[in-house]
Amino acid sequence: MAQEVIKRLVVRRLIETKDEARAREAVRRILSENLLAEQKLDADARALMMDHAKEIRDSASDYKRLLTLVKGKLAKERGFTL
């Protein structure tokens, strides 16, 4: 995936690189960090939902919709783009 990202950026002349291997590694690192951050966000949202599971059940709310809203709110607070 990192190779394709670098290739597309170079072809579109959005970047110039003297060291493609180093650029690929930077893209891999960024993608990995982003994936881990999103996984943590998801886990935190689920934990928050579990803390309020009884109220959610009692209100007959849609769990999936609430999870999406909670994840969106947490992402916004953390400056994370989903």
Q: What are phi and psi of 64, to 5 degrees?
A: -60, -40
**Tens of pLDDT, residues 27-62:** 999 999 999 999 999 999 999 999 888 888 788 778
If pLDDT is split at 50, 70 and 90, which confidence band does 66 have? confident
CB 66 within 8 A of CB 60: no
CB 45 within 8 A of CB 72: no
The length of the chain, given as a count of residues: 82
Containing domain of residue 64, as a range?
2-78
Q: Nearest CA to 4 among 69, 12, 32, 59?
A: 12
Is 19's pLDDT higher than 90? yes
Is 3's pLDDT higher than 90? yes
Strands (E) in 30-74, as ranges, are: none
Q: Give me the number of domains the chain comprises.
A: 1
pTM over 0.95: no
